Structure 1
Amino acid sequence: MAYYTSPRFLDKLAVHITKNYLNLEGVRVPLILGIHGRKGEGKTFQCELVYERMGIEVVHISGGELESPDAGDPARLIRLRYREAAELVRVRGVMAVLMINDLDAGAGRFDALTQYTVNTQLVNNTLMNIADNPTNVQLPGSYDDKPIQRVPVIVTGNDFSTLYEPLVRDGRMEKFYWQPDRSDRSGIVGGIFEPDNLGQAGIEQLVDIFSQQAIDFFGALRARIYDEQIRDFIHSVGVGNVSGRVVNSTQPLHFAKPQFTLAHLLEVGHQMVDEQRRLQEMRLADQYNRALRERMPHPAETTAPSASGFYRAYDESATPPTTVPSTNGQAS
Structure 2
Amino acid sequence: MSISNMWSSRSFAQKADVENTDLFNGIYIPQEYRKRILRHLILNYSSNINGMQPALFLAIQGHRGEGKTFMLKTLCESFNIEMEYLSGSDLCGSNEGDSKEKIKRKYEAACVKLAKTKKLSVIVIDDFHLSIASDLGENVSKTTNSQVLIGYLMNLADSPYLFNVRIPIIILGNNFKNMYPALIRNGRMDFFTWTPNLDEKVNIVYFMFKKFYPEIKYEDIRRLVSNYPNKYIAFFKDVIQDMFFSNCDLMVKEFEQRQGNIRLDEINELVREFIKVDNNISYEHLSNMAASRNLIKEDNFE
TM-score class, shorter: 0.7 to 0.9
Name which one, 1 or 2, has greater alpha-carbon Rg: 1
AA partner of residue 5 (structure 1): I
The answer to whether the aligner puts 1:52 opposite 2:77 as a matched pair is: yes
1:77 to 74, 80, 102: 102
**Residue type matched to 2:28 in 1?**
Y
| Shift of residue 98, structure 1, vs aligned partner | 1.1
1:261 to 282, 287, 293: 282
Q: Of 210, 214, 229, which residue of structure 2 is paired with 1:211?
A: 229
Q: TM-score, normalised by structure 1?
A: 0.75
State the TM-score, normalizing by the size of structure 2.
0.82
Whole-Å Cα distance in 1 between the matches of residues 267 and 249 of structure 2?
A: 21
SS of alignment partner, residue 220 of structure 1: helix
Report if the CA contact (8 A) 1:6-1:46 is conserved: no
Note the 1:26-175 alignment, pairs <5 A. Answer: 26-106=51-131, 107-136=133-162, 147-175=163-191
CA contact (8 A) 2:124 2:170 kept: yes
Are the aligned partners of 1:59 and 1:84 in contact in 2 as well (CA < 8 Å)? no
Return the structure number with greater helix share. Answer: 1
Question: Alignment length, in residue pairs?
Answer: 270
Contact between 1:35 and 1:155, CA under 8 Å: does it hold in 2?
yes
Q: Which amino acid aligns with 2:43?
A: K
* Structure 2 unaligned blocks of 5 or more: 1-24
Q: Which aligned pairs between 1:218-237 and structure 2 lie closer than 5 A?
A: 218-237=236-255
Give the deviation of 1:104 after TM superposition: 0.9
Q: Does 1:249 align with 2:269?
A: no
Cα offsets for 1:96-154 (capped at 9, x unmatched): 11111111111323333323222222222211111001015xxxxxxxxxx44111111
Compared CA separation, residues 223 and 113, structure 1 to 2 (3 A) = same
Quote the residue 1:2 is aligned against: 26
Q: Distance in 1 between matches of 2:186 and 2:257?
A: 58
- The question of whether the paired residues in 2 share the 8 Å contact of 1:30 and 1:173 is answered with yes
Question: Counterpart in 2 of 1:302?
Answer: none
Q: What is the aligned-residue RMSD (CA, Å)?
A: 2.2
Residues 241-281 of structure 1: CA distance to partner in whole angstroms, max 9, x if unpaired?
46x6474637633122246332122222222222226738x
Is contact 1:58-1:85 (8 Å) kept? no
**Helix, strand or coil: the match of 1:252?**
helix
Q: 1:113–1:248: structure 2 CA closer, same or farther, 3 Å change rule?
A: farther
Q: Could you tell me which of 238, 251, 276 is aligned with 2:256?
A: 238
Q: Contact (CA 8 Å) 2:244, 2:276: kept in 1 or not?
A: no
Distance 1:69 1:232, change over 3 A: same
Counterpart contact for 1:37–1:159, Cα < 8 Å = yes
The letter for the 2-side match of 1:249 is E
Shift of 1:27: 1.2
Write the distance in 1 (CA, Å) between the matches of 2:245 and 2:263. Answer: 16
Percent identical among aligned pairs is 25
Q: Partner letter of residue 252 of structure 1?
A: E
Residues 53/256 of structure 1: CA separation in 2 closer, same or farther (3 Å cut): closer
Partner of 1:321: none
Cα deviation code 1:182-207 (max 9, x no counterpart): 12111110111103222110010011
Residue equivalent to 1:11? 35
2:208 counterpart residue number = 192
Q: CA deviation at 1:25?
A: 2.2
Cα offset for 1:19? 0.8
Q: Secondary structure at the match of 2:84?
A: strand
Question: What is the distance in 1 between the residues matched to 2:66 and 2:268?
Answer: 38
Work out the CA distance in 1 between the residues paired with 2:247 and 2:63.
33
Q: Which structure 1 segments of 5+ residues have no match?
A: 137-146, 284-332
SS of residue matched to 1:68: coil
Distance 2:166 2:119 in 1: 13
Supply the distance in 1 between the matched residues of 2:143 and 2:70 (Cα, whole angstroms): 30
